[in-house]
């Protein structure tokens, strides 16, 4: 094998191990084998450290190196369950998850990146032997004083250990206080975890202080560092006066261009235009050219990578980029010239894609439209709205036409059509929740969704065909165990029409059959519940530098390109596409550099996305209990959304609010849980509660600490 150079890359080193190393070796042996000088040996040491961190190479306790795959080891991130066990989602897309028993998690916490020894490949069972990267530095919980000392009981039930607090590190915390604790040492070799109190959280007195507490709990960034703010202000000077041609930009200012967003949106990162062509339609998807302003490894870029995504709460946004960029310089505001990155796509009259092209452009949005206004034009045929936008009517109707064609094509290829309702929290002037409604989803939402999916697919396919390293949005097929459980649940909700002994036999569902199930249940009372159950059975979509397709969209190649203001992976893909368009061919050095950095970016972006989702859900739960706090004793119509051995969950019809009805409140009979049918039934009355059943409930109490609404039953129908 040729001698390695100082510019060592991961793939070259891994190839060396695969081809030349037949047993674990120490560092000195590698240096001798390769004939490296002192400077080259230092470069190798750094590269090996990086590969060990990624889980590609293993460094044993005896100081020997070897490829993880040769040692029956795999890497991935740990998904912890509240009952102690967990699963490792493999780094390599397309691989089934590895089950980790509670005794074999080595103190790993949710989302930690770990190295696993697979003990049984057939059962997909293993044990964690090393934590490669810990994502949790702090936890929130309740401070407890006991006879044996002080400890913090974590709020997150997936963290199945307490944090011991030495007396000197309690920071004045008292028994029962809600605190933020920094983890000093993690549990290891039967040694308990320890930490120190960094903040005592006062009991929230209103919804706003509750949100502040959640921001603290998740350690979300509240301010941008001074260097980042300075860099953002300096960017105003970067806008040149040159003509578009001199900037190597296509001038699209004469095109009718619109943005379509929610009423409260401030960051407009996508706009659309459309034209009729001799063969069908030409669609232009314009995306804010964030990459023009933010250079790789600048202060702004590193901060955006660290944040990963914008976080959206009812009363505020924690942006990925400073407001100078997210709400001004990069935002595609109306009547203002803006730099954009355009995906131009030609479609046949039946919606089939003919060709696509990509280029930097200069646009000027004509209108900042809302989903509501577009719905009024297309669905309600509202004369006032149609008159207001009369010069755009033909364009909007063409967009609607193309949207229908694209959507039908996507659904026919097996894309999953989830139409789950989402809550919308309306705040009053003081920041308190005034009501919680079901958010509207109409044709305008679908229009933008279809156009963005098309643009993302076009970019992903283009880069993959060129063999350029990139980031992909991947969604693997659900594994067989989850499909089996899903089949049981669906059989319980939708009784089988089969007779005799076949009735109780569970029919195995193939992943390819899910889209057909969604079509069959459309319009049924249980539709929403079944959508929710199927969604929970699927794997989470994530980012990867390896393309395995997107199961949910039935897409062979997919990425995220259309939201660079609020998602870091989109910004990375913008940069890669720009490089390819300008340079035609990337150098070997740049390709190796991308191969090296993209796995880490994919991992950190997936983690920050999950963290943001969790924080947003927690704020939503908090808003629900604050909203229902003064409604104790009130009665509501509700629908059963879930059944457990301990009771049932029900959603109110008037508000998008769920509560729990414990079986002990059902005093007219002794109720038993039937696991096969997923029902609660009365032994004497034969009264049965099923998913989708309509009931009348009373708000018994609201638990502000546990964020739970406790229901009592009034009657069922």
Element (H or E) spanning 14, and its range? helix 10-20
pLDDT at 252: 97
Q: Which residues of the chain have pLDDT under 50?
A: 1-2, 4-6, 497-503
Element (H or E) spanning 462, and its range? helix 443-466
Element (H or E) spanning 604, and its range? helix 588-628
Find the Cα–Cα–Cα–Cα dihedral 380, 384, 385, 390, rounded to 10°.
Answer: 120
pLDDT at 241: 66
Integer Cα distance of 444 and 457 in angstroms = 20
In the three-class reduction of DSSP (H, G, I as helix; E, B as strand; rest coil), residue 79 is classed as: strand
Long-range contacts of 559-562 (CB under 8 A, 24+ apart): 559/456, 559/459, 559/460, 559/463, 559/470, 559/471, 559/472, 559/473, 560/456, 560/471, 560/473, 561/287, 561/343, 561/455, 561/456, 561/459, 561/460, 562/269, 562/270, 562/285, 562/287, 562/452, 562/455, 562/456
CB 395 within 8 A of CB 283: no
Residue 203 CB neighbours (<10 A): 11
Take residue 244 and report the two structure tokens written for it: 């578009």
Q: Please check whether the two domains, 138-201 and 632-716, share a CATH topology.
A: yes
Q: Which residues contact 242 (CB under 8 A, 6 or more apart)?
A: none
pLDDT at 244: 63
CB 302 within 8 A of CB 319: no
pTM comes to 0.86
Exposed e or buried b per residue across 578-599, where buried means at least 16 C-beta atoms within 10 angstroms of its C-beta: bbbeeeeebeeeebbebebbbb
Tens-digit pLDDT profile for residues 106-135: 888 888 889 898 888 888 899 998 888 888
User: Under CATH, what is the fold of the domain 10-68?
Assistant: Arc Repressor Mutant, subunit A (1.10.10)
The owner of tokens 């203002």 is: 336
Tens-digit pLDDT profile for residues 493-544: 776 544 444 445 556 677 778 888 888 888 777 788 888 888 888 889 999 9
Computed over its alpha carbons, how large is the radius of gyration of the chain? 28
Fill in the DSSP letter of residue 334. Answer: B
72-133 sits in which CATH class? Answer: mainly beta
Residue 631 CB neighbours (<10 A): 16
Where along the chain do its domains lie? 10-68, 72-133, 138-201, 226-458, 480-538, 632-716
CATH of domain 138-201: 2.40.50.700
Integer Cα distance of 393 and 366 in angstroms = 13
| Domain 632-716 in CATH 2.40.50.140 | yes
């Amino acid at each position: 094998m040729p001698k390695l150079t100082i510019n060592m890359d991961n793939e070259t080193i891994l190839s060396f191990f695969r081809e030349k190393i037949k047993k674990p070796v120490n560092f000195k042996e590698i240096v001798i084998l390769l004939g490296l000088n002192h400077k080259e040996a230092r470069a190798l040491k750094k590269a090996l450290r990086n590969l060990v961190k990624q889980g590609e190479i293993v460094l044993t306790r005896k100081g020997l190196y070897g490829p993880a795959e040769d040692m029956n080891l795999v890497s991935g991130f740990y998904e912890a369950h509240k009952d102690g066990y967990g699963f490792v989602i493999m780094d390599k897309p397309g691989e089934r998850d590895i089950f980790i028993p509670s005794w074999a998690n080595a103190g790993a916490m949710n989302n930690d990146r770990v190295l696993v020894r697979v003990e049984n490949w057939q059962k997909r069972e293993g044990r964690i032997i090393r934590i490669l990267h810990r994502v949790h530095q702090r936890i929130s919980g309740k401070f407890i004083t006991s006879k044996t000392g002080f400890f913090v009981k974590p709020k997150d039930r997936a963290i199945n250990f307490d944090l011991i607090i030495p007396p000197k590190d309690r920071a004045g915390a008292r028994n029962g206080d809600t605190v933020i604790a920094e983890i000093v040492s993690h549990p290891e070799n039967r040694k308990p975890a320890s930490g120190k109190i960094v903040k005592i959280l006062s009991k929230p007195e209103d919804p706003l202080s509750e949100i502040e507490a959640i921001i603290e709990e998740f350690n979300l960034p509240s301010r941008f560092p001074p260097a980042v703010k300075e860099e953002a202000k300096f960017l105003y000077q970067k806008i040149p006066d040159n003509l578009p041609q001199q900037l190597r930009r296509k001038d699209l200012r004469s095109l009718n261009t619109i943005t379509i967003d929610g009423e409260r949106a401030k960051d407009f990162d996508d706009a659309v235009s459309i034209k009729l062509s001799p063969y069908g339609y030409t669609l232009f998807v314009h995306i804010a050219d964030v990459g023009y302003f933010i250079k790789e490894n600048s202060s702004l870029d590193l901060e955006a990578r660290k944040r990963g995504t914008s976080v959206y709460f009812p009363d505020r946004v924690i942006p990925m980029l400073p407001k100078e960029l997210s709400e001004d310089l990069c935002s595609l505001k109306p009547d203002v010239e803006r730099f954009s990155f355009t995906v131009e796509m030609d479609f046949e009259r039946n919606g089939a894609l003919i060709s696509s092209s990509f280029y930097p452009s200069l646009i000027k949005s004509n209108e900042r439209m809302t989903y509501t206004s577009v719905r009024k034009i297309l669905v309600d045929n509202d004369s006032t709205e149609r008159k207001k936008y009369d010069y755009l009517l033909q364009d909007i109707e063409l967009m609607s036409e193309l949207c229908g064609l694209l959507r039908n094509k996507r659904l026919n290829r097996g894309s999953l059509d989830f139409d789950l309702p989402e809550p919308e929290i309306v705040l009053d002037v003081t920041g308190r929740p005034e009501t919680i409604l079901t958010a509207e989803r109409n044709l305008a939402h679908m229009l933008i969704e279809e156009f963005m999916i098309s643009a993302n697919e076009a970019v992903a396919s283009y880069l993959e065909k060129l063999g350029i390293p990139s980031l992909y949005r991947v969604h693997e097929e659900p594994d067989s165990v989850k499909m089996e459980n899903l089949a049981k649940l669906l059989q319980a909700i939708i009784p089988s029409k089969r007779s005799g002994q076949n009735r109780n036999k569970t029919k195995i569902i193939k992943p390819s059959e899910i889209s057909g199930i969604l079509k069959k249940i459309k319009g049924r009372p249980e539709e929403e519940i079944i959508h929710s159950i199927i969604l929970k059975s699927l794997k989470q979509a994530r980012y990867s530098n390896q393309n395995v397709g997107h199961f949910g969209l039935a897409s062979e190649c997919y990425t995220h390109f259309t939201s660079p203001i609020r998602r870091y992976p989109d910004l990375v893909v913008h940069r890669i596409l720009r490089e390819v368009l300008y340079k035609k061919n990337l150098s070997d050095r740049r390709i190796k550099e991308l191969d090296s950095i993209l796995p880490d970016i994919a991992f950190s972006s997936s983690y920050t996305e999950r963290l943001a989702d969790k924080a947003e859900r927690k704020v939503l739960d908090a808003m629900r209990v604050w909203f229902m706090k003064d409604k104790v004793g009130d009665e509501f119509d509700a629908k059963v959304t879930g059944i457990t051995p301990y009771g049932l969950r029900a959603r109110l019809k008037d508000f998008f609010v769920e509560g729990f009805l414990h079986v002990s409140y059902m005093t007219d009979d002794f109720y038993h849980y039937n696991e096969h049918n997923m029902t609660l039934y009365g032994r004497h009355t034969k009264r049965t509660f099923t998913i989708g059943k309509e009931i009348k409930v009373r708000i018994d109490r609201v638990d502000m600490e546990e964020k739970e609404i406790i229901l009592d039953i009034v009657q069922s129908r």
